[in-house]
Amino acid sequence: MGNKLSVDVRLPTQQQNPFWLGDLQVFITIPSAGINNLWIGQRLFQGQPLGTFRTQDFTLPAAVKTALASSRQDAQITLALNTGNCLAPVLIDNVRVRN
């Protein structure tokens, strides 16, 4: 089992407010392990390149790694994306657990 949850995010080149590009927060729920809407972390997009995919890494807590290693069927990852008034779509791809 890896130590990180990673997700690739592509910010659009068109931004209404170049001083606020938004952020991404990650939550994990695994009811059978007693984990409910656990906040994993937040990544601010400010200073990141526009128009290209960039990997956002989140360190997994030990309890989540243990639960995922035991093949839980009820694991759910929630990605909360806050971009304000984005002029084009934000693309999300390649959600994975890795070292």
Question: pTM for this structure?
Answer: 0.90
Q: Which two tokens stand for residue 95?
A: 């959600």
Give the pLDDT of residue 19: 86
Q: Are 22 and 90 in contact (CB under 8 A)?
A: yes
Cβ partners under 8 Å of residue 86, min gap 6: 12, 14, 15, 16, 22
Give the pLDDT of residue 16: 86
Task: Express each pLDDT in 44-97 by its tens digit.
Answer: 999 999 999 999 999 999 999 999 888 889 999 999 999 877 788 999 999 999
Give the pLDDT of residue 14: 86
80 versus 15: the higher-pLDDT residue is 80
Is residue 5 very low, low, confident or very high in pLDDT (cuts 50, 70, 90)? very high
Give the pLDDT of residue 45: 94
